[in-house]
Structure 1
Amino acid sequence: MDSTTAHLAAIDRLRALPFPARRRTERGVESGPDFHVAELEYSDRFGDDDFTLVRDEREEFESELQVLVQVLTYRWGEPEHRSLDAHLERSAMGEPVPEPLCTLSAFVGEVHAWSVDGRWVALGISRDEPQPPQRVLLVAAIGGEALAAAG
């Protein structure tokens, strides 16, 4: 199974999972009332001077993100493009930010988001941080429809 197929299967599994009553992390998926967040792919194997490797890895992740966006656009229509910067700022100032937006905004600057069957699905790649340690993430988040208004 190629990575795109595996990522699409993971997104479909996340969409089918019920939301738990309490926050928990199980098999790499952080879940709670009205949300699931999963790292579809990650790389954190870089040292302080591996900026070329980080750039190359980021390009691969961005390519995979674009393929996933194309496939999901075919399935569900055009996504909304949402910046998560305001959520990160509010969180940093101690203001309440609903999950998964609080967790997601700490790592991802913007997402492609769809509203599908009463849930929203968001995909993004980690912020491009200038200092080590560098970590490249491809993240999927599933939320209840109530979070669509908060986005």
Structure 2
Amino acid sequence: MDIARHIALIDELCFRPFPAGLGHHLVVLSGSHGLRGGGEPAERAVAVDQYEKERDAVDALLAERWGESEILSLLTVLLRTERAGEIPEPWAELSARARVAYLWEVAGTGRWVALAVADRDAADEVRLLAAVTREAPP
């Protein structure tokens, strides 16, 4: 767990230009190895717990800087936008991979930052994700 490295990368993404044609960055801060294909349920649970603790440590430091995070239910986003139409990125990918996101609107940048533990797909690795986007959450 390298919280300082995670914070530095998030800081950089708040000011780095977006790739051509995209209005967001989506990065893996940390990820498991060997859980693709399901793995043992106990191992997966340990990995999820580890990345949730890592997310919470990053959240605590960012909260000192930007205020308390808003917790966004990505499952609700997925359900709401299924009825209303297409989900904008990076929210579509986050909704498909994670259950909740910790969210800040970063003053003076026009950007949103989201942290999420991607654990919805039991056939994939568990990951701690960070998204930085111009697109407000749906």
Do the two structures share a fold, i.e. TM-score over 0.5? yes
Give the TM-score taking structure 1 as reference length: 0.78
Deviation (angstroms), 1:9: 1.1
How many Å separate the matches in 1 of 2:102 and 2:38?
30
The correspondence for 1:127, drawn from 96, 119, 125, is 119
Deviation (angstroms), 1:71: 0.4
Unaligned runs of 5+ in 2: none
Deviation (angstroms), 1:115: 0.6
Q: Quick one: higher RCO (CA 8 Å, sep 6+), 1 or 2?
A: 2
How many Å separate the matches in 2 of 1:11 and 1:105?
20
Helix, strand or coil at the partner of 1:38: strand
Matches within 5 A, 1:46-65: 46=35, 48-65=38-55
Q: Provide the identity percentage.
A: 33
Contact 1:90 1:96 in 2 (8 A): no
Give the TM-score taking structure 2 as reference length: 0.85
Contact 1:91 1:102 in 2 (8 A): no
Deviation (angstroms), 1:110: 1.0
Residue 35 (structure 1) aligned with residue 24 (structure 2): yes
How many correspondences in the alignment?
Answer: 135
Contact 1:61 1:125 in 2 (8 A): yes
The answer for the alignment partner of 2:77 in structure 1 is 87
Contact 1:80 1:114 in 2 (8 A): yes
Alignment root-mean-square deviation, CA? 2.2
Deviation (angstroms), 1:16: 1.6
Q: Deviation digits for residues 27-64 of structure 1, max 9, x if unmatched?
A: xxxxx1x2111111111412655122111111111110
Contact 1:121 1:140 in 2 (8 A): yes
Kindly report structure 1 stretches of 4+ aligned residues shifted beyond 3 Å: 89-94
Matches within 5 A, 1:131-150: 132-144=122-134, 147-148=135-136, 150=137
Deviation (angstroms), 1:90: 5.9
Contact 1:39 1:138 in 2 (8 A): yes
